[in-house]
Amino acid sequence: MVGGGLMNFWEGKKVTVTGGAGFLGSYIVEKLQQKKAKVFIPKIEGYDLRKIENIKRMFDDFLPEIVIHLAAVVGGIGANRQNPGKFFYDNIIMGVQLIEEARTRKVSKFVNIGTICSYPKFTPVPFKEEDLWNGYPEETNAPYGLAKKMLIVQSQAYRKQYGFNSINLLQVNLYGPRDNFNPQTSHVIPALIKKCFDAQTKGLSPQGTVPEITVWGTGKPTREFLYVEDATEGILLATEKYNKPNPVNLGAGFEISIKDLVGLIAKLTGFEGKIVWDTTKPDGQPRRCLDTLKAYKEFGFKAKTPFEEGLKRTIEWYKLNKY
């Protein structure tokens, strides 16, 4: 039972979790198994969901009642700048075909995990769901954000025409144990944790003084982060209780500047070296912080994990598993 959810909602239910072998997916799958759901994870080696024949085979093989669509091609600012076409195509083609096939197979519920990147670049803070269409997304991640946004359009259109029960959750960046620490594709928190540990391991800077790390941008933008176990609770609560067309924000409802984030991670990792700001690199969206009231009103979700506590757990996991 999650956060007062329906006691027998999940027991025996057949649930497909796309991206179930990934960071967030591994937590969702564990929770579902604890609740005695029957879970199927279409791993990319056997089910590349960009190809319609693999989507059809996935539905044939498992006949799910519920689909939770987590699978996405994602990354930080650098990865988005290098792969705008790939991030657009892979994300939109997966989602569009999955939703269409789920509709024709009469799946009882489709849960689409969207992104804060879909919001306009200059959305008033905190971001309210009603502001979603009031402008163009921040340029560095617009192709990804717009691809995910189109799935909301499809979802709403299908509900209106076919009565298809599909919901959309707009999620902020996640963090926590098991995160992606690959410097080519990781988001800011795991990237900074790895940089701090790597710099301490290597010792002196190139100038022979103190260890140093380089961080993109000016440090002025703000970001919001949601601990992965809180996100898991929010997604499962929404699946149980929410059945409306309008998207719902899923976040922690706070913002922290990149400068303060770097300082906090440096402190928690024990990094005492030099922080160099590469201002030739982009900052990305100026501010990000969600209004999270609707999630609480509609399905009783509120993030519980204090940010510093979540960071400590993430750093501890990295030390034990990657360092």
Give the active site residue among 144, 158, 175, 242. 144
**pLDDT recorded at residue 4:** 47
Q: Are the CB atoms for 24 and 72 separated by under 8 Å?
A: no
* Cα–chain center distance at 260: 22
Q: What confidence score (pLDDT) does residue 103 get?
A: 98
Smallest Cα–Cα separation from 35: which of 63, 2, 69, 4? 2
Q: Under CATH, domain 14-174+226-253+289-304 is a member of which superfamily?
A: NAD(P)-binding Rossmann-like Domain (3.40.50.720)
Task: Compute the distance between CA of residue 51 and CA of residue 26 in angstroms, rounded to an integer.
Answer: 23
pLDDT at 318 over 50: yes
CA distance 110 to 36: 19
Predicted pLDDT of residue 207: 58
The encoded tokens of residue 175 equal: 């963090």
How many whole angstroms separate alpha carbon 246 and alpha carbon 84?
27
What is d(CA 216, CA 278) in angstroms, rounded to the nearest whole number?
A: 5
Structure token pair of residue 66? 């519920």
Whole-number average pLDDT of the chain: 93
- pLDDT tens figures, 5-34: 445 899 999 999 999 999 999 999 999 999
Cα 237 to Cα 4: distance, rounded to the nearest angstrom: 9
Q: How much is the average pLDDT of 51-73? A: 97
Does residue 64 surpass a pLDDT of 50? yes
User: Distance between alpha carbon 272 and the CA centroid of its chain, in Å?
Assistant: 30
- 144 counts as catalytic: yes
Residues with Cβ within 8 Å of 139's Cβ and at least 6 positions away in sequence, in order, are: 121
288: Cβ contacts below 8 Å, ≥ 6 apart: 116, 119, 125, 127, 172, 221, 222, 223, 224, 255
Give residue-wise pLDDT tens across range 205-237: 555 567 899 999 999 999 999 999 999 999 999
